[in-house]
Structure 1
Amino acid sequence: MAWWRRKKPALEQPNKPGTKTSVPPGLWSKCESCGEITYTEELVQNLRVCPVCAHHHVMPTDERIASLIDEDSWTEHDIDLTSGDPLGFEDSKRYSDRIAAAKHKSGRLDAFVSGTGTIDGVPVSAGFFAFEFMGGSMGSVVGEKCARVFERAVEQNRAALVFSASGGARMQEGILSLMQMAKTSAARARLREAGLPYISVLLHPTTGGVAASFAFLGDLILAEPRALIGFAGPRVIQQTIGQELPEGFQRSEFLIEHGMIDRIVSRLEMREQLAALLRLLGSPGAGDAAPQPRTSPATSGVFRGVGN
């Protein structure tokens, strides 16, 4: 028999003793910064922060909410809002097809999750960008849901929090997406008039129209380590001005050195820091809220309550 027709022996024969056994996919995770190999379950328990170099890996939105909001206090709002295709936009694919594919892939209707809950007993109206849905781009639905976070905070007399991770305005909705910058900023202004605090948390990445509007309008602006933050990306800026950019340009550490953000906070400390800052800002309900122990399965062993 010719060599190209010979049947090759199986590499893996699990039924025979002493044979090679394949490793289940997803069991291990490799740090993209230091290369450390970690059990995925252990990495998730550590809020997807590398235990060796503290690199912050991408964190699914549901895990982020579970790590921050008190257990059994979260109520999601505006669940049924979904994007249309008002411009009939089409490039290499129809916008309606892109929306359908994003819904199927992410399991969400759009790129923003809004709701109410408590952080260590302090009532908040919170919004979380879902970067897994079209890169967290801001269209009409995202702008509406974000504006409602501020409006709900005014109605219910509670602080507002927004966790931003976005590539900017959604080009498939044209001027309608850009209008969300004004709408969200106006809603944020009404929150300021009501004397209620707003903390903006910038995640990796926060760019474009999101960075140019409500993301930089917080009473306090926090950021995760090494997050890319800015309007245009560094490559675009470098090509435009024809100059080399400084080391670490547009990263959290660069921004805090230049006075553009207030504090860099590790994901492992975010919940405690937010609770303490909300109390310092005089958030409604904070004075009566005693520190609560943290026992959520998603963060067991990481958070044990706030000592401030």
Structure 2
Amino acid sequence: MAMADHKDDKSGKPAQGQPPRERGGWLAKIAPGVRNLVAKRETPDNLWVKCPDTGEMLYRPDLEAALWVTPSGSHMRIGAAQRLRYTFDDGRFERIPSPVVVDDPLKFPDDKPYADRLKAARKATGEQDSMAIAFGNIRGEPAVVIVQDFNFMGGSLGMGAGEAFIKAAEEAVRRKVPLVIFTASGGARMQEGTLSLMQMARTTLALNEVKAAGLPYIVVLTDPTTGGVSASYAMLGDIHIAEPNAMIAFSGRRVIEQTIREVLPPGFQRAEFLVERGMVDLVAARSELPDVLASVLKTLMLGRARARAA
């Protein structure tokens, strides 16, 4: 008598003609509801974040509570909305809309259309371009703040960012308050060619208006600040503050070493090295920045008030 017709095959599946086995085993038979209680729960993909320094997996809520500063001290890159919440009192501020510019003025040819890159960046960040503007109080001191978002096409400087910077400068003059910028950029936006490079001159001219009004301009250099941004408005502040270990440079190590034919010291493009050489005034941890900024703004605005009185 052939018995093979009633046995499972080696794959563990019932043989042809045999009814499928009830799943769940003995536990499901005696307590059907238990299976749902002990079922495997799905873990969100973004619940753990890898530390860029140590490779340690960090619990996301703990990292958010620490302002995205890891236990090793690494200041991770953050978006514009987070930066504004961390900077202003109680996370409250007034957003100032940026001017609208033509998206693809040069019809730049690429493996992916520039217009599509912009759409993707806007969807990912929720911002119109790489700069966001807001007005509010920093420990009671009013200021217009610009945040450059590295998540938006590497914080690149294009027409949209240039117009946003000019708008922020105009708002600071109109409201008679200081202008603060958090820089983070890989440099000029190649898809806009010369139009991008023109923003270096245009932002500098806008700063002249701020300084002519006797208003402070404070730069907070975050990781990374490079290229045409470091060659223009990022280095024109009255005071330059940097986050720990922020990369601040014009071009990369290899390019510089090949140009001058010398080996450069370790960390020569980091904030701490630049403080020692006088290029940056001080380094401040992210949690300390509101207090540091408020102290600087209060001191500089007090000097302005005395000058006006005199």
Same fold (TM over 0.5): yes
54-63 or 231-240: bigger deviation: 231-240
Work out the CA distance in 2 between the residues paired with 1:19 and 1:70. 44
> What root-mean-square deviation, in Å, do the aligned CA atoms of Structure 1 and Structure 2 show?
2.7
Match of 1:30 among 30, 36, 50: 50
Identity of aligned residues (%): 42
CA–CA distance in structure 1, aligned partners of residues 152 and 303 of structure 2:
33
Q: Which residue, 230, 244, 247 being the options, matches 2:263?
A: 244
Match of 1:279 among 298, 301, 310: 298
Greater relative contact order (Cα 8 A, min sep 6): structure 1 or 2? 1
Kindly state the Cα deviation for residue 218 of structure 1 after the two structures are TM-superposed: 0.4
Q: Deviations over 1:60-108 (max 9, x none)?
A: 2211110111237411112462552111111222211211222222222
Q: Which structure shows the bigger proportion of residues in helix conformation? A: 2
Structure 2 portions without partners, runs of 5+: 1-7, 14-22, 25-33
Q: Which has the larger radius of gyration?
A: 2
Asked if 1:55 is matched to 2:55, the reply is no
1:117–1:125: 8 Å Cα contact kept in structure 2? yes
For 2:284, the aligned partner's letter is V
Task: For 1:17 and 1:72, locate their aligned partners in 2 and report how far apart those are by CA, in whole Å.
Answer: 40
Unaligned runs of 5+ in 1: 288-308
Partner residue, 1:258: 277
Per the TM alignment, residue 6 of structure 1 is displaced from its structure 2 partner at its CA by 6.4
Q: Deviations over 1:141-183 (max 9, x none)?
A: 1011112212211111100001100111111111111110001
**Contact (CA 8 Å) 1:143, 1:184: kept in 2 or not?**
yes
State whether residues 99 and 167 of structure 2, in contact with CA within 8 Å, keep that contact through their aligned partners in structure 1. no
- Please, which of 161, 174, 177 is the counterpart of residue 155 of structure 1? 174
Q: Deviations over 1:170-212 (max 9, x none)?
A: 1111111111000101111111111111100111000111111
Match of 1:220 in 2: 239
Where do 4+ consecutive residues of structure 1 move more than 6 Å? Answer: 16-19, 284-287
| 2:211 match | 192
Change (3 A) 1:104 1:237: same
**TM-score, length-scaled by structure 1:** 0.83
